[in-house]
Amino acid sequence: MEDQFAYKVNSLLSLPSLCLAEMETWFFIVLTISVSLILKAIFNLFSPSKNLTHTLPPGPSTFPVIGNIFLFTKSSFQIEPILRNLRQKHGSMITLFVGSRPAIFVFDRTLAHQALVQSGALFSDRPKALPTSKIATSNQHNISSAPYGPNWRVFRRNLTSEILHPSRIKSYSHARKWVLDILFDELQSKAKTGEPVQVVTHFQYAMFCLLVLMCFGDKLCQEQIKEIEHVLRKGLLNFVRFNTLNFWPRVTKVLLRKRWQEFLQQRKDEEAVLVPLIRARKKAKEEKSIMKESDGDYVLAYVDTLLDLELPEEKRKLEEGEIVSLATEFLAAGTDTTSTALQWVMANLVKYPHIRDKLLLEIKGVVRDGEEIEEDDLQKMPYLKAVILEGLRRHPPGHFVLPHCVKEDTVLGEYLVPKNGTINFMVAEMGRDPKAWEDPMAFKPERFLKSEDGGSGEVFDITGSREVKMMPFGVGRRICPGLGLALLHLEYFVANLIWKFEWKAMDGDEISLEEKQEFTVVMKNPLRAHVSPRKR
């Protein structure tokens, strides 16, 4: 997730991913720059650090200047199996070179705990933004890209205490109901046609509506929401193309001028749809026409809190562009991650009727026929929680965290983590580690049930504070601040979708769990199912 969608899981490696068709241009670029870089690169490669007692983790041999050249033809998702192979040869910490900068990858759960939890203060920094990210994040003025320091603390505390605090989250329950009704209407009208429904776009739209309301307060009309969604999605879809501009910006500004213009236009388009909403909120605030909390319809919006925020070091309020960056981060971070997880969970429930039936039985034990599922009811559904956790373990929406870095050369395990590199953690691999999970590729929610609920497990701590067994939200100081909200959204929507509708796989259609990288790691064959209102 690192432009305004800093969250983009595709960017997790911070690698410019280039398609083969562009290789000619890139060879030309490489040649043009090689003379000036060669001395620097050789210097970096042979003396990556002043620390003489530890070496970098092992990895494949590199080309001077350009590092592991094969990286330039791969997306981050394609690099995952390469890293897996390298692990057989080199062990659980690997170094790849992106240009002359080392990028370290960690498979080991204990080392992840050591770095991110036990030595959290050392490993919580973010790398310097690449040129496109610098523009999109208003020079690292959002939570996910801000360096570990006072600004990050203020941004993050504002989000967690003002918007994501459990009592505040509760105050958005009417929004969840509103969005659930929109989703039900869409599914019902599709169900009437008798055709199978491809659910993912409906899930994405539902999550987006919810986040827009939390961000801007007002229930916008659906056309307006669709317009914002369209603009932001365009940016997401072009993300890899725009990322290539970072490879050698001075050269790409000449050779890929049109693409730069397209990128800058994208940012302008985002400002064009979001700035009027921010200004409207500001005006209402100035006119004191926003209703008080005691009024029934009042909702505090994320943007309201940003208008009040003061940057501790610069001692000034946020500029409009910075608010745009923080708002787009909020919308992007909370939408595709959650809708991807929702799709994976629903796919498993459609694929495995015995799990679906067990969940339905649990819901029936809590809610009577004809009644709605209230949010408080979710607390009485341990199997539902186990289904969601199993979904996040087996299918984490991001297979890496966002790149971390250290401010000073540091040692992790037996290796050096240098300050001029990045470090990332193999999220999906950890959740599928056979040493931590029996039969790890199977979908078995029971592994998360406590013994009193008929399972063998203990209370599972997803924050990994004592031990890392899986980390779909990251762990430590940079752990996803939206964790609680995401879990609530997943529980609420899964429970209601199972309660209101019957779900059936299409005749003869095996549900495939193959993966594909988009913004998150999604189903290669999106879930299509027969959906019909449940008869009671």
Q: Which residues bind ligand HEM (CB under 6 A)?
A: 7, 143-144, 156, 329-330, 333-334, 337-338, 341, 397-398, 401-402, 472-474, 478, 480-482, 485-486
Write the CA distances from 462 to 72, 247, 394, 449, 484, integer angstroms.
Answer: 34, 36, 14, 14, 11
Q: What's the closest the beta carbon of residue 55 comes to ligand HEM, in angstroms?
A: 25
Q: What's the closest the beta carbon of residue 189 comes to ligand HEM, in angstroms?
A: 27
Reduced to 3 states, what is the DSSP secondary structure of residue 268? helix
Contacts of 266 (CB under 8 A, 6+ apart): 231, 234, 235, 238, 242
| Residues 45 and 39: beta-carbon distance below 8 Å | no
User: Please, which residue, 107 or 330, has the CB nearer to ligand HEM?
Assistant: 330
Amino acid code (one letter) for 282: K
CB atoms within 10 A of CB 133: 25
CB atoms within 10 A of CB 520: 27
Q: What's the closest the beta carbon of residue 21 comes to ligand HEM, in angstroms?
A: 31
User: Please, which residue, 187 or 402, has the CB nearer to ligand HEM?
Assistant: 402
In whole angstroms, give the CA distance from residue 533 to residue 536: 9
Q: What's the closest the beta carbon of residue 444 comes to ligand HEM, in angstroms?
A: 20
Identify any residues that bridge with 310 across adjacent strands, giving them in sequence order: 317
Q: What's the closest the beta carbon of residue 424 comes to ligand HEM, in angstroms?
A: 9
When CB distances to ligand HEM are compared, the closest residue is 482
Q: What's the closest the beta carbon of residue 334 comes to ligand HEM, in angstroms?
A: 3
Q: What's the closest the beta carbon of residue 368 comes to ligand HEM, in angstroms?
A: 30
Q: What's the closest the beta carbon of residue 323 comes to ligand HEM, in angstroms?
A: 15
User: Please, which residue, 148 or 260, has the CB nearer to ligand HEM?
Assistant: 148
CA-closest candidate to residue 331, choices 2, 5, 44, 3: 5
User: Please, which residue, 6 or 18, has the CB nearer to ligand HEM?
Assistant: 6
User: Please, which residue, 217 or 472, has the CB nearer to ligand HEM?
Assistant: 472
User: Please, which residue, 473 or 501, has the CB nearer to ligand HEM?
Assistant: 473
The pairing of strands 422-425 and 101-106 is parallel
User: Please, which residue, 62 or 140, has the CB nearer to ligand HEM?
Assistant: 140
Q: What's the closest the beta carbon of residue 531 comes to ligand HEM, in angstroms?
A: 22
Alpha-carbon dihedral of residues 74, 80, 81, 87, nearest 10 degrees? 120
* Segments of 52-196 assigned E as strands: 93-98, 101-106
Q: What's the closest the beta carbon of residue 398 comes to ligand HEM, in angstroms?
A: 5
Burial 382-417 (b: 16+ CB within 10 A, else e): bbbbbbbbbbbbbbbbbbbbbbbbbeebbebbebbb
User: Please, which residue, 462 or 531, has the CB nearer to ligand HEM?
Assistant: 462
Six-digit token string for 26? 């890139």
Rounded to the nearest 10 degrees, the angle between the axes of helix 257-286 and helix 200-216 is 50
* Segments of 121-279 assigned E as strands: 197-198
User: Please, which residue, 184 or 473, has the CB nearer to ligand HEM?
Assistant: 473
Six-digit token string for 307? 């208008």
Rounded to the nearest 10 degrees, the angle between the axes of helix 353-366 and helix 382-394 is 150
User: Please, which residue, 252 or 424, has the CB nearer to ligand HEM?
Assistant: 424
